[in-house]
Amino acid sequence: MEQKRYGHFDDQHREYVITDPQTPWPWINYLGNEDFFSLISNTAGGYSFYKDAKFRRITRYRYNNVPMDNGGRYFYIKDGDTVWNPGWKPCKTPLDFYECRHGMSYTRITGRKNGVEASVLFFVPLKKWCEVQKLTLKNESAETKTLKLFSFEEWCLWNAATDMENFQRNFSTGEVEIEGSTIYHKTEYRERRNHYAFYHVNTEIQGFDTDRETFVGLYNEFADPQAVMEGKPRNSHAHGWSPIASHYIEVTLKPGESRDFVFLLGYIENEQDEKFSAPQVINKQKAHALIAELDTTEKVDKAFAELCEYWDSLLNIYKVQTGNDKLDRMVNIWNQYQCMVTFNFSRSASFFESGVGRGMGFRDSNQDLVGFVHQIPPRARQRIIDIASTQFPDGGCYHQYQPLTKRGNNDIGGGFNDDPCWLIFGTVAYIKETGDFSILDEMVPFDNQPGSEVTLFEHLKISMDHVIKNLGPHMLPLIGRADWNDCLNLNCFSWDPNESFQTTENVSEGTKAESLMIAGLFVVTGKDYVALCKKIGKTAEAERMQQAVDAMIEAVKKHGWDGEWYLRAYDFYGRKIGSNECEEAKIFIESQGWCTMAEIGAEEGMVAKSLDSCKKYLECEHGMVLNNPAFTKYIYEYGEISSYPEGYKENAGIFCHNNPWVIIGECLAGRGNDAWSHYAKILPSYVEEKYQTLHKVEPYVNCQMVAGKDAFKPGEGKNSWLTGTAAWMWYTVSEFILGIKPDYDGIRIDPCLPETASDYTVNRKFREAEYDITIHPNGQQKGVKAITLDGNPIDGTVIPYSPGKHTVEVTM
**Could you tell me the smallest distance in angstroms from the CB atom of residue 56 to ligand NOJ?**
22
The residue among 668 and 703 lying less far from ligand NOJ, judged by its C-beta, is 703
Q: Of these, 7, 45, 361, 623, which contacts ligand NOJ (CB under 6 A)?
A: 361
**Could you tell me the smallest distance in angstroms from the CB atom of residue 252 to ligand NOJ?**
52
The residue among 79 and 364 lying less far from ligand NOJ, judged by its C-beta, is 364
Query: Which is it for the CA torsion 56, 59, 60, 61, positive or negative?
Result: negative
Interacting partner of 502 out of ligand NOJ, ligand BGC, none (Cβ under 5 to 8 A depending on kind): ligand BGC
**Could you tell me the smallest distance in angstroms from the CB atom of residue 717 to ligand NOJ?**
15
> Does the annotation mark 486 as catalytic?
yes
772 class by beta-carbon count within 10 Å (0-12 exposed, 13-18 middle, 19+ buried): middle
Which positions from 647 through 676 interact with ligand BGC, judged by CB under 6 A?
Answer: 649-650
- CA 618 from chain centre, in angstroms, equals 26
Give me the 717-756 binding string for ligand NOJ, x by CB under 6 A, dash otherwise.
----------------------------------------
Pairwise CA distance, residues 648 & 713, whole Å: 10
The residue among 364 and 716 lying less far from ligand NOJ, judged by its C-beta, is 364
**Could you tell me the smallest distance in angstroms from the CB atom of residue 704 to ligand BGC?**
7
Q: Where are the beta strands (DSSP E) in 386-461?
A: 398-401, 408-414, 443-444, 454-455
**Could you tell me the smallest distance in angstroms from the CB atom of residue 587 to ligand BGC?**
20
Our finding on whether 412 is near ligand BGC (CB under 6 A) is yes
Pairwise CA distance, residues 122 & 107, whole Å: 5
**Could you tell me the smallest distance in angstroms from the CB atom of residue 336 to ligand BGC?**
24
Catalytic residue among 486, 528, 674, 710: 486
Q: Which of 562, 13, 718 is nearest to 332 (CA)?
A: 13
Pairwise CA distance, residues 569 & 638, whole Å: 11
Strands lying side by side in the sheet with 398-401: 360-361, 398-401, 408-414
3-class secondary-structure state, position 769: strand
Our finding on whether 364 is near ligand NOJ (CB under 6 A) is yes
Interacting partner of 485 out of ligand BGC, ligand NOJ, none (Cβ under 5 to 8 A depending on kind): ligand NOJ
Beta carbons within 8 Å of 15's beta carbon, 6+ residues apart: 9, 101, 102, 103
The residue among 502 and 734 lying less far from ligand BGC, judged by its C-beta, is 502
Our finding on whether 371 is near ligand NOJ (CB under 6 A) is no
Q: Of these, 79, 154, 528, 650, which contacts ligand NOJ (CB under 6 A)?
A: 650
**Could you tell me the smallest distance in angstroms from the CB atom of residue 571 to ligand BGC?**
19
Which positions from 453 through 512 interact with ligand NOJ, judged by CB under 6 A?
Answer: 484-487
Interacting partner of 24 out of ligand NOJ, ligand BGC, none (Cβ under 5 to 8 A depending on kind): none
Beta carbons within 8 Å of 287's beta carbon, 6+ residues apart: 182, 184, 196, 198, 200, 266, 268
Interacting partner of 364 out of ligand NOJ, ligand BGC, none (Cβ under 5 to 8 A depending on kind): ligand NOJ
Which positions from 472 through 491 interact with ligand BGC, judged by CB under 6 A?
Answer: 486-487
| 494 φ/ψ angles, rounded to the nearest 5 degrees | -115, 130
Beta carbons within 8 Å of 384's beta carbon, 6+ residues apart: 366, 369, 423, 426, 427, 430, 439, 456
User: By the 8 A CB rule, do 123 and 294 touch?
Assistant: no
**What's 574's DSSP letter?**
S
Interacting partner of 344 out of ligand NOJ, ligand BGC, none (Cβ under 5 to 8 A depending on kind): none
Neighbours of 409 (CB within 10 A): 16
Which positions from 495 through 534 interact with ligand BGC, judged by CB under 6 A?
Answer: 502
Site residues for ligand NOJ per CB under 6 A: 347, 361, 363-364, 484-487, 650
Tell me the catalytic residues: 486
Site residues for ligand BGC per CB under 6 A: 412, 486-487, 502, 640, 649-650
